[in-house]
A = this chain, B = another copy of it.
């Protein structure tokens, strides 16, 4: 059963090439600990037999993972699993970007990519309690930890109330600090909706991902303690680098 199961799970003619499927299987085996970090993978011929494909197909999969920095192949010795940990990103009523990441990484910050003023779309207007088409400020940001992108977010603010928040963000590099300039010294996450999908072209570029990667997407509304909406945001996290830890009771 176990022996057959693996060969069975490779699907031909699915629109996903065999080498890509096998690369994903190897990633999964690493994630579950079946292939331990800093040890050698089974030799190519063994993997080929395990997955029921040709050795060259396995080599294509390994080649892709070497390209992605997951494996390192050494002629004559073997192919080794490099160590890489998931960043555990906390989400709760009072979570801020950098607060919960302390101790996990040595360096982390937010980069402001761009800002613009635009009319509110339907969902942004709803989230912020504004009329559709009302002017909102949009901040595009990227979160980085140890030099690698770990999040990509768009945040919308009421343009009348938060005029100049783009400048504050550029200067402080922090949403919390920027909001403090407008008299907001505490805010809560009112709602978060979470989904997952394949990374699109923008994700691939923004988060430095390979095609086929998965992103976690959160859509959230932040409010003042008395319930006034101040920020609507959509964030994307690369699933291969980040897991979201939900702290419900805080």
Contact = CB atoms under 8 A, between A and B. Distances in A.
A220 B21 CA distance: 28
Given A28-B197, A196-B214, A239-B195, A246 B91 contact: yes
Contacts of A216: 194-196
A179 B93 CA distance: 29
Contacts of A64: 15
A95 to B, nearest CB: 9
Q: How many copies does the complex hold?
A: 2
A244 B211 contact: no
A158 to B, nearest CB: 21
A185 interface: no
B248 A92 contact: yes
Interface in A22-68: 23-25, 28, 31, 64
A201 B245 contact: no
Interface stretch (A3-11, A148-156, A167-175): A3-11
A98 interface: no
